[in-house]
Amino acid sequence: MPTLNTLADFTSSDLMIPSLVKRHPAAAIQDICSILHRQGCVYDPLCFLNAVMSRELLCSTATDQGWALPHARLPGIAHLSFAVARCAPPVNWFGSAATTVRLVFLFAVPATEAAGYLTLVSSLARLSQDPARLESLHRAPDAQGMFEVLKQIPLRTTRSNSGTEAKRGSSNPSFSSK
């Protein structure tokens, strides 16, 4: 099994969107879903989009840090992955002028990977507590620059594996070669 060390191990530079063009959150999510589909992370983009939108409309994933963390957990998703999009200017997340989003992290989660997803989100929280790296992500000149920042964010480990590195299941190919 490949060893997982950083957030970058669940994505690739091809899944980084330095400047999201869409100004409406539903259109933005649709564009990001299309990119996940083109990169082989999502096999049924319409089903995935519907699941993400249903989840997002039920309970917004926008955060106080100006992030949105939309996601769907479905059978048929081969491996845990995510795409990142920067929004400049910030997007009013689903009509709320009080909730503006500058970064969208869209997660494709296999039905059996709830624990892996939570580890990934917990690791992402580390980024929110690191102003220098967060600023680097916002200022990265391109997709590769954004990806390089994610290579610097280590995965968090749980108590049960605190002495070991996180491992990805054999069905989940590593993205880190990009």
Q: CA 107, 11, 17: angle at the middle one, nearest 5?
A: 80
- Identify the CATH number of the domain in which residue 20 sits: 3.40.930.10
Whether residue 178 lies inside any domain: the answer is no
Residue 102 forms part of a structural domain = yes
Q: Which two tokens stand for residue 5?
A: 């060390």
The confidence score (pLDDT) of residue 128 equals 87
Render each residue's pLDDT in the chain as its tens digit; 178 residues.
Answer: 556 789 999 999 999 999 998 889 999 999 999 999 999 999 999 999 999 999 999 999 998 889 999 999 999 899 999 999 999 889 999 866 678 999 999 999 999 999 999 999 999 988 888 999 999 999 999 999 999 999 999 998 754 444 333 444 333 444 444 4
| pTM given for the model | 0.87
pLDDT of residue 142: 97
174 in a domain, yes or no? no
Q: How many domains are there within the chain?
A: 1
Give the largest Cα separation in the chain, rounded: 45
In a domain, 172, yes or no: no
Q: What is the β-pairing status of strands 81-92 and 100-110? A: antiparallel
Range of the domain at 31: 3-167
